[in-house]
Amino acid sequence: MPKAIVVVEDDESIREMLRYYFQSVGYAVRSYESGEALFQEEEGESLPALYILDIMLPGMDGLEILRRLRSGRDTGDIPVIMLTARTAEMDRVSGLEAGADDYVVKPLGIMELGADDYIVKPFSPREVVARIKAVLRRTQRKGDQILTCGDLEIDPAAREVRKSGVLVELTFKEFELLRLLCTRQGVALTRDEILQAVWDYDYTGETRTVDMHVKALRQKLGEDVITTVRGVGYKMS
C-alpha cells in the first residue's frame, strides 16, 4: 500500500494540484478544506505518513490543528509540514551565525509548536515532494529501517534508492518490486507471487508486466542486480 499524505488547504486549486502531483509520484492522498473536516472525516481512517497544513484556514487555523495533532495519542509523532504565506509573521534570522552569506526566513511560532518543516507560498510541487522525502527520512520509524542489498540502500520511509551512495530515481512500482526482492533476498519468487505482493491482485496470465519492471530496474541499477531463476521467476542474491 502506498504511503498516505493528508493535505488541509482551503484553496481548491492548490489542494488539487498537490493531490495530482503526490499521486503521480506514488503517494495516496486525502485532502480537506478545513480543520473541522479533517477531524470529522479522518475518524476511522488509517494514520497517514505525513500531514501538510495551511496556516490560514477558515475556522480552525493550521496552528490549532497542529496543536491538536501534537497532543493526540496516535498523531503526536506523525510529521507535519506547514504551508504559509504570512509574511507578517516571518522573522529573518541571520545565516551568518551558521557561516552562510545570506539569511533564512523562518515563520515565528510554527517550529516551536512542533512542525517538522514549513514551505512558503508560492512553491513548486517538486519542492514540496523533496521536503516530504527529507522529513520522512529524518523521522522514519523503527519499522522502516534502511534495507541493504549489496551496494544498494533502500530507504522505505523516504522512498529513495541509492546505488554506491548515488540516488537513483525509480517509479512507484519499481521501488515496491525492488523492496520486495531485497526483503526476500536469496529467495526465488514466482511472477505470480510478485504480482500479488506488488500489484495487490492477480494479473492472470499477464506476467509480462513483471518482466518489464525487472528490465527497467536492470537498466537503472545494473544487469546483475536481479537474477533470473529459470522456470521460477526472479531473486536478488
* pTM across the whole model: 0.53
For the chain, how many structural domains are there in total? 2
The residue segments making up the domain with residue 206 are 144-235
Q: How far apart, in whole angstroms, are the C-alpha atoms of residue 89 and residue 179?
A: 43
pLDDT digits (tens, 9 = 90+) for 46-63: 899 999 998 888 899 888
**C-beta separation of 77 from 116 below 8 A:** no
Instruction: Tally the residues of the chain.
Output: 237
Give the pLDDT of residue 101: 38
**C-beta separation of 198 from 190 below 8 A:** no
Which of 77, 108, 139 is the C-terminal boundary of a domain? 139
- Residues 176-184, mean pLDDT to the nearest whole number: 91
190 backbone dihedrals φ, ψ, rounded to 5°: -75, 160
Domain of residue 73, CATH code: 3.40.50.2300
Statement to judge: residues 148 and 134 lie in one domain: no
pLDDT digits (tens, 9 = 90+) for 134-157: 777 766 654 457 888 999 999 887
Statement to judge: residues 154 and 195 lie in one domain: yes
